[in-house]
């Protein structure tokens, strides 16, 4: 068992999770408003979706994603979820303050937000098919199939490390914020989600027309 290879797969997991996208945007927003556990649970929901994608790729059950109607549904539904979340974030900005109670947003809702955003995101699907699929092929070619599960788990460890890091980061920054900065962050997060949602919806409409 090569330690350097294991570390490289953990770093791959971190790099897969790190790019700023809808889930990271929501993770930062929820964490800054509510604290560590809300940010972490959004990431946990996203990781469950990632695990399902990894399982599909691992089992080779990805051909149904090539069906045009499935792709169109994912683009449009993903766009709807993001636009809804973005509007909700912007519309609720006046209720955001430093005494924002954790009771106002349940952990279950945060978990489902992370899960639904990831499971309906065509970008996530393409990312996992492209990156993870090629990683599996390379690993199988160089080390055989016996190590595939181990290295897949190391990728997941990397995802977990990133989730805990972002949750801790939002908790740290929360101590230095005031009501105004919280509202600005909420608006920026909402605009970011709207942007992703419009892009997803546009891609879905284009696919539907063509």
**87-138: per-residue pLDDT in tens?**
887 887 776 555 554 456 788 989 999 998 888 877 777 667 666 766 676 6
Is pTM beyond 0.85? Reply is: no
C-alpha–C-alpha distance, residues 174 and 169, integer Å: 9
**pLDDT of amino acid 102:** 47
- Local confidence band at 180 (pLDDT 50, 70, 90 cut-offs): confident
Length of the chain as a residue count: 210
DSSP assignment string, 127-188: HIIIIIHHHHHHHHHHH-GGGHHHHHHHHHHHHHHHHHHHHHHHHHHHTT--HHHHHHHHHH
Average pLDDT, the chain: 79
pLDDT, one tens digit per residue, over 46-75 is: 989 988 887 877 777 656 666 778 778 878
Rounded Cα distance between 27 and 40, Å, is: 7
């Amino acid at each position: 068992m090569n330690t350097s290879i294991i570390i490289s797969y953990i770093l791959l997991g971190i790099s897969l999770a790190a790019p700023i996208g809808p889930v990271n945007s929501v993770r930062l927003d929820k964490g800054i408003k509510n604290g560590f556990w809300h940010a972490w649970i959004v990431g946990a929901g996203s990781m469950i979706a990632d695990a399902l994608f990894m399982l599909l790729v691992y089992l080779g059950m990805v051909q149904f994603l090539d069906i045009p109607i499935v792709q169109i549904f994912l683009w449009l539904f993903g766009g709807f979820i993001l636009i809804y979340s973005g509007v909700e974030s912007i519309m609720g900005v006046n209720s955001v303050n430093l005494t924002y109670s954790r009771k106002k947003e349940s952990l279950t809702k945060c978990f489902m937000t992370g899960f639904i955003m990831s499971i309906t995101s065509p970008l996530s699907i393409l990312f996992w098919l492209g990156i993870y699929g090629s990683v599996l092929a390379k690993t199988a070619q160089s080390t055989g199939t016996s190590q595939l599960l181990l290295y897949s788990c190391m990728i997941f460890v990397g995802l977990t490390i990133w989730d805990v890091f972002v949750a801790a980061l939002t908790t740290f920054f929360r101590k230095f914020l005031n009501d105004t900065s919280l509202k600005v962050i909420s608006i920026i997060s909402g605009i970011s989600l709207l942007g992703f949602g419009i892009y997803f919806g546009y891609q879905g409409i284009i696919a539907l027309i063509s």
